Structure 1
Amino acid sequence: MTQAPSPRKSKTPDDATGNSTALAADAHATASHCEHCGDPLAGLKVVRRRIGATEQSFCCLGCAFIAEQLYLARATSRDLAALDAALGGARRAPDIPAGSALKREQIEVHGMVCAACALLIEHRLRHEPGVASAHVDFGARRAYVAFDPKQSSPAALRRAVETSGYRTSSSAQAERKAHRIELLRVLLAWLAMMQVMMLAIPAYVAAPGDIPRDIEQLLRIAQLVLTVPVLLFSAAPLFRAAASQIRARAIGMDLPIVLGLTAAFAASAHATAIASGATYYDSITMFVALVMGSRWLQARALARAYVHIDAAHRQSTLRARRLRAYPGSMLADDVPAQALAPGDHVVVAPGETVPADGVVARGASTVSQAWLTGEAAPIEVADGAPVLAGSVNLEQPLVLEVTRAGEATSLAALRRLVDDAGRDRPRIVETANRVAVVFLWAVLAVTTLTVAGWWIVDPSQALPNAIAVLVATCPCALSLAAPAALAAVQSALAGRGVLTARVSAIEQLARIDAIATDKTGTLTEAEPALLRTVLLRAGVPANVLAVAAALESLSTHPFARALTRAARAAGVAVPALQGGRVEPSAGVEAVVDGVRLRLGKADYALGIVDAEPAPVTARLLKRLEREKLQAASVIVLADSAGPIALFAFGEALRPDAQAFVDEVRASGIDLLLVSGDRREPVANLARALGIAAPDGGNVFAHQTPDSKRQLVAGMQRAGRVVAMLGDG
């Protein structure tokens, strides 16, 4: 629906005006209309940007950005080098030398038991040489790292993860074995806990002296024997995590747990050795069973969510049919889109997604770039026309020459933008992480003071009270319950086709006070709909619609599908046709009931008229102006006697759009319309739904993905809690 950011530069509305290639001018610019969308520049702050060898004027940064993307799609290597020089290089992280090309790596991480593990790995990765950014997704079990390949390597990054005590690769068989071992840890902990509790009950219920000393000592020894395997096997992940935290000098939640378990076991073992004193074997085994059981349940919920998400990612992987020896041969190999390189030729059949940025080498068709421009109306392409990755070919087969592939495409840049936005942690989360470290240090300090205080008052109570402080103040229960609940929600949503990019957003939904919604595909249907039929001669509208539907049955154009749907909804009988012929990017021609007809663009449809075409065309244009219709969204039905009818298409509101707007406004939440489409259709929709504020300050057109993110981020910095609705 909206465009992807250029992988060669990153700009925001704030810094665009400061760059030598994006200059703001007043409305007295020499150009009178935007070079991209055609909107008048009068009264606007014009954006000028050098596209190729010429400086062009645009109504906004969004149009300038789209024009640049289209230029990049067909630019040569020399053009791109010149553009990079003009931009002065992309902005890099402060610790990365200017001019370095960052590489992105995904590392699968095994062995994480809670969110603190993810923070520890991030801490280690961010301190690796050449690492610009690192994010660890605990739910997806992956680390996402951007680094300078001159200073680091994937192998070095994996070693950093492994040094932290986690695994970075695992075969399916090894993974199944690890899962069985984790389950065995939990089962052993719970089984031992139940046995130890049975052995400990007599000490709780019996009166002093009721149990002989030798039997009491035997009960202690039996509990010790059952507790040792729980600590050595079931609690082993806790001890490993605590050791990693100590090595990394990053205190986590596992350290207080291990200290408490160790202190309790040492005191209990001492009491067993001297055959006197209290033991805490039941508390030790119960705590390990609860912690490991909770983590195992959480891991299962996360694994189910990960299966859904991974399956959805695999389904979304683009494939391409790469021609072996074009133009000498049309034999093609099916390859992943990532395997394409500049200079390759690919064939894109109708209905398929364009796998890489390129230019048309053969063929003519229409493509939908709604994800880039926000407009549902398709655009026409022919030889030499640029086509961006992610576009959908609608009518005729196309042969494209690849100009940018893989991570260099506009689609990949858009995906990186979405990934980066999803991985950004809210400020409150980062603050909570810092506070958690301080809290754990405070717990250790309080524990030390407890030992010292009770040692003065009653030494026999010093250790039990210290253990109580460590166990009672441990935030492990909360840290387990919240991720487990969120993982269950994520799994349920993923099973319904809703992928959660940032799980923390779920808990923010109850606090939102503003919703920024996209237009195409969100408030309106994703495909154009037949809005009006204007008869230019006397006739029955239903009959005219039936004839038009018969003609459009030959085409796969979005307008053809919309007209066919309208005829089906009206219940009209579609007549048979003879001698049908489709003219790419123009229209269709056929004989219906003995009359030869044409349906399509005005110049194509009127080409069948016997009369002088100029006056007929002039009358048609006046009628379009009188009906306030745009020629780009109108097709004409004509025969040899002249035009018969006009069919106007546009975006149709989704059935629940008005109810959604009314419900949001009734709840007191501010609603913003943010679209990549042109200003006029966006404003019309806002008025139709009652979204537009009196000053129009909540309606935004010509928005790019990056400008949408900047808009939302600005509102968040102002203290607003914003939800973005839509795929733009």
Structure 2
Amino acid sequence: MSDTRCFHCHEPVPAGFNFSLMFDGQQRVFCCAGCQAVADTIIASNLADYYRFRTEPANKAKALPEQLKAELSQFDAADVLTDVSRQLGDLTEIELSVSGISCAACAWLIEKQLRQLPSVHKVNVNSTTQRCHLSWDARQVPLSGILQKLADIGYQASPFVADQEEQRYKTELSRFLKRLAVSGIMTMQVMMLAVALYFGDYTGIEASHQGYLRWISMLLTLPVVLYAALPFVKSAWRGIKARQMNMDVPVSLAIYYTFFASAYATAFNTGEVYFESVCMFTFLLQLGKFFEYRARARARDATSNLLKIMPVSATLLKGQQQETVSAKRLRPGDIILVKPGETLAADGEVLLGSSSTDESMLTGEYRPIAKTVGDNVLAGTVNHDGLLQVQVTNALDNSRLGQIIQLQQRTLSQKPAVLEKTDKLARYFVERLLLIAAATFLLWYFWLDADRAFWVTLSVLVATCPCALSLAAPTAVTCALASLNRRGVLIKNSAALDLLPELSIVVFDKTGTLTEGRFSLQQCHLYTDTVSETEALNLIANLEAYSEHPISRAFSSYLAQKLPLEDVSITVGGGISARYQDKKLKVGSAAFCGLLQSDAMVNLTIDEQPIAAVNLQDALRPEVPELLATLRQQGYQLMMLTGDSSSQADALQQQLQFDQMIKGCSPEQKVAEITRLVEDGHKVMMLGDGINDSPAFHAAHVSVTLDSGSDLSKNQADVVLLQPNITLLHDLLHGSLAAKQVIKQNLRWSVGYNLLIIPLAVAGFVSPYIAVLGMSFSSLLVVSNSLRLLKK
């Protein structure tokens, strides 16, 4: 194996490979014809800046067979295109899921490539979500032509169909941004006028000028109270109708009470105006609500991203005729044709043919599963190398994949107990605050000074406005997130910071979490001394080079010399045979090789004589034993839930000694086990990396995945470890503890401030102006204390 790296994907270039191009005056080498073809297309299309400015290597390209065009043409069928796109006049609008996007340069490359097509009206690529929003004239170029154009530069794309729930969230997100923009812009404008009014009070200002500035301020504040602040009013009104006082009740009262009081002062030229406070309150609170909404939206995005692997089309068999139809329209009893490399469009039973399928995204097991007549197959799994006729048993919505999506949505909608406790505390605070404000008004109006009752009550509401209380947790969380992010820990759900210090059980998935998610050679046993181990592994590697199975990747590094093999034949679920120097070579299972005594996963025979037996393993991450030992010392219980039902799970249990281990778990069983732990009073963290872990992610209090996991798992998890080292859990737990301490300090100050300021405000010693300053100082102190987390 050569140390030379491919110019396109940075993978090692095998010895003897001769794929190269001239670029920037240098000879660039490639690991395969696919990478060379993609690079040639990019450079020839005047898009070579991609290679100059990219920050991450591209994914390894695959040589594209001629049948790719035929496969992509399935998306051009009328009913399929109708299901995955929208028609806007003469233009067709669609959202594509694009695999292989690794940095912003990829997004630039895709946009430039598609904009070269005259039919494309608009294209926008989001490198974070790996989606492409496209608007084009389908009469000039079919969808398959668009997908082929992306394939030419190394990106595999397929239609992404967002569910109605995600569409609602997108619409609401747009509204959030508009309200935030309105309140932010108006805050800046009104603050400038407020400065003029404040200085005018000290230096002298004509009454006409003062009135003019007040009226302008009121007009600029109107969009804030009539539009930007409406969500607080609606939320407060819903709470009141449900007889529950939420935090938006005093917020709404403070905003609108202050506005109407200031409007009264403007209209009758009496008292002070606080329009800038109205705008500032609204903007700051909207900002906090926006961050909270974004966290929840990411979780919802995870559910929608399950649809990335949902098949779009299927080949329906009607007698001897083949018809491309939408996968959603398949019904039980239909017979579909599944070609090599295609995703199964529904759950079903194999009627004809044999192959193997990749079920790793559903079961968590990377090993290919042999399928033959009578076997069940699952929607969302990938057919490897055989042609199958499948009778549909469950339509797409009722398939196992569809059930996983529904299960995830149910677990996502469940409300953790910690949030219920927070809601109770908020209701308690709000109820007492409103009672105090009401009592203050009555006291001053009937017994002390009716003229001051309005302004004293306003001082109580403003001084005790829950701004500091609202900022106590969010600012600490934001600083903790930034600090952890610098160390390689990305927390997507800020609520996890509150829960992490309370964890009692850590649950691990096996494949891809505790292990590296790829097979490696464990042991090679030779039956004869006529062939060395190096020669035997080289023979196996040459044969396995013809296979696309994940097992074959375990031998790629043992390809020392390319051999001229003849009559290569692949037996699905069995192995590979070929002729070399007039000898018959076989690599595969014991049955395929004619061996009765071997328990090895891979066997090699020459002319029916056993040569070697190879045991493979999915390598354990080297840092795992140390991490588990540390977690035990800190008092955590450890548990492994894995979809792998093989003996490898038992071997791992013997090595790592988990407190509990359950193998062969379905997604439902994982949810049931974690739910049982939660009901027993435990705080649970789940570490996983596959779709089969997604319902368990949301059933657990905190979910964590590695950056090397699938895009889906990274979208779903509360926490992503950005480096391939799960000992970053140490930083995560330490950072969460520091954040919890700062949050407690902030809350103590906020409560202490309110206990001090409320009596003074009620007694009339705090004017609305001083109340605003006190509220601002309290908020500033909370923010400053939170900033200390950036230094940890």
- TM-score normalised by length of structure 1: 0.63
What does residue 588 of structure 2 align with? 600
Q: Does the alignment pair 1:588 with 2:576?
A: yes
The equivalent of 2:682 in structure 1 is 720
Given the superposition, is the C-alpha separation of residues 302 and 437 from structure 1 closer, same or farther in structure 2, using an over 3 Å criterion?
Answer: closer
Task: State which drifts further: 534-543 or 575-584.
Answer: 575-584
CA displacement at 1:518 relative to structure 2: 0.8
Greater mean deviation of Cα atoms: 306-315 or 659-668: 306-315
* Amino acid in structure 2 at the alignment position of 1:593: Q
Q: Which amino acid aligns with 1:190?
A: M
Alignment partner, residue 516 of structure 1: 507
Q: Which amino acid aligns with 2:193?
A: Q
**Residue 340 (1) aligns with residue 338 (2):** no
* CA–CA distance in structure 2, aligned partners of residues 242 and 299 of structure 1: 16
Residue 617 of structure 2 corresponds to 650
Note if 1:295 corresponds to 2:286.
Answer: yes
CA displacement 1:96-148 (0-9 Å, x = unmatched): xxxxxxxxxxxxxxxxxxxxxxxxxxxxxxxxxxxxxxxxxxxx9xxxxxxxx
Q: Which of residues 296, 315, 328 in structure 1 aligns to 2:320?
A: 328
Residue in 1 that maps onto 2:343? 353
Q: How does 1:262-411 map to 2 (within 5 A)?
A: 262-271=256-265, 275-276=269-270, 278-279=271-272, 281=273, 283-296=274-287, 299=290, 310=301, 313=305, 316-330=308-322, 332-333=324-325, 335=326, 337-371=327-361, 373-411=363-401
Which secondary structure state, in structure 1, belongs to the residue aligned with residue 250 of structure 2?
A: helix
Shift of 1:482: 5.1
1:74-153 matches, cutoff 5 A: none
User: Using the alignment, how far apart are the partners of 1:491 and 1:301 within structure 2?
Assistant: 16
Q: How many residues align?
A: 521
Shift of 1:654: 2.9
User: Aligned with 1:652: secondary structure?
Assistant: strand
2:660 is aligned to 698
Is 1:221–2:196 an aligned residue pair? Answer: no
Alignment counterpart, residue 465 of structure 2, candidates 474, 499, 504: 474
C-alpha displacement of 1:586: 1.9
Q: Does 1:561 align with 2:549?
A: no
Tell me, what secondary structure is at the counterpart of 1:323?
strand
| Match among 416, 424, 443 for residue 414 of structure 2 | 424
Question: Following the alignment from structure 2 to structure 1, what is the Cα–Cα distance between the partners of residues 300 and 413?
Answer: 15
RMSD after superposition: 4.1
Q: After TM superposition, give the deviation of residue 441 of structure 1 in Å.
A: 2.6
Distance in structure 2 (CA, Å) of the matches to 1:354 and 1:168: 26
Q: Deviations for 1:448-489, whole angstroms, at most 9, x for unmatched residues?
A: 111223342344543333112212333355546756887999
Deviation at 1:585, TM superposition (A): 2.0
CA distance in 2, matches of 1:658, 1:175: 43
Question: Deviation of residue 180 (structure 1)?
Answer: 5.3
Q: Separation in 2 of the partners of 1:555 and 1:305?
A: 43
Q: 1:303 to 1:448 in 2, by over 3 A?
A: closer
Alpha-carbon deviations, 1:680-703, whole Å to 9, x = none?
432310222x333xxxx4222343
* CA displacement at 1:545 relative to structure 2: 0.7
Q: Which amino acid aligns with 2:579?
A: V
Which residue number in structure 1 is paired with residue 604 of structure 2?
637
Residue of 195, 198, 211 corresponding to 1:197:
195
Contact 2:584 2:608 in 1 (8 A): no
- Is contact 1:200-1:219 (8 Å) kept? no
How far did 1:331 drift?
5.0
With over 3 angstroms needed to count, the CA separation of the structure-2 counterparts of 1:366 and 1:196, relative to structure 1, is same
Q: 1:558-609, CA deviations, whole angstroms, 9 ceiling, x for partnerless residues?
A: 32232334x14xxx22422111111222221111233111222223222xxx
Distance across 2 between alignment mates of 1:545 and 1:404: 43
SS in 1 for 2:563: coil
Q: Equivalent of 1:465, from 456, 460, 475?
A: 456
In structure 2, give the amino acid aligned to 1:259.
L
- Structure 2 residue aligned with 1:686, among 648, 653, 662? 653
The higher-RCO structure (CA 8 Å, 6+ apart) is 1
Q: Distance in 2 between matches of 1:177 and 1:414?
A: 31
> What is the percentage of aligned positions where both structures have the same residue?
26
Pairs within 5 Å for 1:46-57: none
Change (3 A) 1:645 1:261: closer
CA contact (8 A) 2:574 2:592 kept: yes
Give the C-alpha shift of residue 241 in structure 1: 4.0
Question: CA separation in 1, counterparts of 2:177 and 2:491?
Answer: 25
User: Any conservation in 2 of the 1:297–1:484 contact (CA below 8 Å)?
Assistant: no
Structure 1 pair 485–417 and aligned structure 2 pair: CA distance change class (3 A): farther
Match of 2:673 in 1: 711
Structure 1 residues 482-497: aligned runs within 5 Å: none
Letter paired with 2:573? S
2:514 partner SS = coil
Q: How far 1:187 sits from its partner (Å)? A: 1.1
Q: 2:593 touches 2:608 (CA, 8 Å); kept in 1?
A: no
| Alpha-carbon distance change, 708 to 472 in structure 1, aligned in 2, over 3 angstroms | farther
The answer to whether the 8 Å contact 1:321/1:347 transfers is: no
Deviation, 1:537, is 1.1
Question: Does structure 1 residue 255 correspond to structure 2 residue 217?
Answer: no
The letter for the 2-side match of 1:466 is T
Distance across 2 between alignment mates of 1:176 and 1:583: 54
Question: Aligned equivalents of 1:170 and 1:562: distance in 2?
Answer: 43
**Structure 2 Cα separation of the partners of residues 721 and 304 of structure 1:** 21
**Cα distance in 2, alignment partners of residues 265 and 326 from structure 1:** 70
Task: Determine which structure has more spread, i.e. the larger CA radius of gyration.
Answer: 1
Unmatched segments (≥5 aa) in structure 2? 1-128, 130-163, 694-792
Partner Cα separation in structure 1 for residue 190 and residue 476 of structure 2: 27
Deviations 1:283-316 (A, max 9, x none): 3323422422552576389569958975982872
Determine the structure 2 residue equivalent to 1:548: 540
In structure 1, how many angstroms separate the alpha carbons of the residues matched to 2:257 and 2:461? 10
Q: In structure 2, do the counterparts of structure 1 residues 294 and 665 end up closer, same or farther at CA, with 3 Å as the change threshold?
A: same
After TM superposition, the score normalised by the length of structure 2 is: 0.58
Letter in 2 for 1:329: Q
Shift in CA distance, 500/368, structure 1 to aligned 2, threshold 3 Å: farther
Q: Which secondary structure state, in structure 1, belongs to the residue aligned with residue 657 of structure 2?
A: coil
Cα deviation, residue 191, structure 1? 0.5
SS in 1 for 2:290: helix
Alpha carbons 1:340, 1:405 under 8 Å: kept: yes
> Does structure 2 conserve the Cα–Cα contact (< 8 Å) formed by 1:597 and 1:637?
yes
How far is the alpha carbon of 1:429 from its aligned partner? Answer: 0.7
Q: Contact 1:253 / 1:474 at 8 angstroms: preserved in 2?
A: no
CA distance in 2 between partners of 1:243 and 1:171 (Å): 20
Contact 1:524 1:651 in 2 (8 A): yes
Does 1:451 pair with 2:469? no
Distance 1:491 1:527, change over 3 A: same
CA distance in 1, matches of 2:421, 2:295: 30
